[in-house]
Amino acid sequence: MNYDAVVRATFIRRMNRFIAQVNLDGEVVEVHVKNTGRCAELFVEGAQVYLEPAKNPERKTRYSLIAIFKNGILINIDSQIPNAVAYEAITSNPHLRNIIGEVTTLRREVTFQKSRFDIYYENAETGNKGFIEVKGVTLEAEGEAMFPDAPTSRGTKHIRELMDSIDEGFQSYILFVVQLKGVTIFRPNQKTDPLFSKTLKEAQKKGVQILCYDSIVTPDSIRLDQPVAMKIEAMEHF
């Protein structure tokens, strides 16, 4: 996935969940933050960031903050992009294609029960069909990627309904998209949201397939890349 006309700036401060101040060519500018998560470890004064110009020229904020450097690693923080990255990768990433197979139907934002899952697929060759719920991951510490960075009752609800889809004959997945390169392992953030972590383990036992991939991130693009080892239970999964 690509962005257009990206510019570099320096982070000053986050004013609220949606707005931050940056220094852009010597001017203090308010920008939209495309991630409502805490991201406290990322939003540090002086950090170098990348901005995407607003597509609507009438919008109050002229730019959106889409990526930020942390310890020399560029992290995409755009919470709207992982779904598009995953959708693109299902037909282009060889690792993911080997797992899901050659899909014959692919749709976004499909409702099941009371949830709207990110992707629905069908594979005519295997007869498999199901849902793929995509979770973007920006939290990293000492090479470990973790999700979530804040409690998410909505995320837990999605997992439970994916478990219900297994009972109805679907082959469903949770795909964690790590929006950076350089992590060695992924694990659920049990300290931050123990219920989410517990439910994720239950889903794995139920038959929901859990996948995790890192990304190649540049100032103006992000692409799903390699599978990341996962520590969902006591054993590691690849």
The CATH number linked to 22 is: 2.40.50.580
Domain presence at residue 1: no
Same domain, 137 and 212: yes
Domain presence at residue 194: yes
Domain presence at residue 96: yes
Say how far apart CA 207 and CA 221 lie, in whole Å.
33
The CATH number that applies at residue 94 is 3.40.1350.60
Amino acid letter, 232: I
User: Which of 41, 75, 109 is a domain's end point?
Assistant: 75
Same domain, 110 and 203: yes
Same domain, 176 and 59: no
Average confidence (pLDDT) over 11-38: 95
Under DSSP, is residue 206 helix (H, G, I), strand (E, B) or coil? helix
Same domain, 209 and 102: yes
> At residue 80, does pLDDT exceed 50?
yes
Domain presence at residue 236: no
Total-model pTM:
0.94
Say how far apart CA 54 and CA 56 lie, in whole Å.
5
Domain presence at residue 238: no
Same domain, 26 and 134: no
Query: Model confidence over 36-77: pLDDT tens digits?
Result: 888 989 999 999 999 999 999 889 999 999 999 999 999 999
Same domain, 116 and 208: yes
228 backbone dihedrals φ, ψ, rounded to 5°: -110, 135
Query: Model confidence over 143-177: pLDDT tens digits?
Result: 999 999 999 999 999 999 999 999 999 999 999 99
> At residue 237, does pLDDT exceed 60?
no
Same domain, 187 and 130: yes
> At residue 138, does pLDDT exceed 80?
yes
Domain presence at residue 128: yes
Domain presence at residue 167: yes
Query: Model confidence over 96-121: pLDDT tens digits?
Result: 988 998 899 999 999 998 889 999 99
User: Which of 26, 51, 75 is a domain's end point?
Assistant: 75
Is-contact 13 23, C-beta < 8 A?
Answer: no
- Alpha-helical runs (H) found in the chain: 81-92, 94-100, 153-167, 194-206
Same domain, 110 and 226: yes
Domain count across the chain: 2
Domain presence at residue 97: yes
Q: Which residues contact 175 (CB under 8 A, 6 or more apart)?
A: 86, 132, 133, 134, 135, 211, 212, 213
Domain residue limits at 209: 81-230
Same domain, 105 and 216: yes
Label residue 201 by pLDDT band (50, 70, 90).
Answer: very high
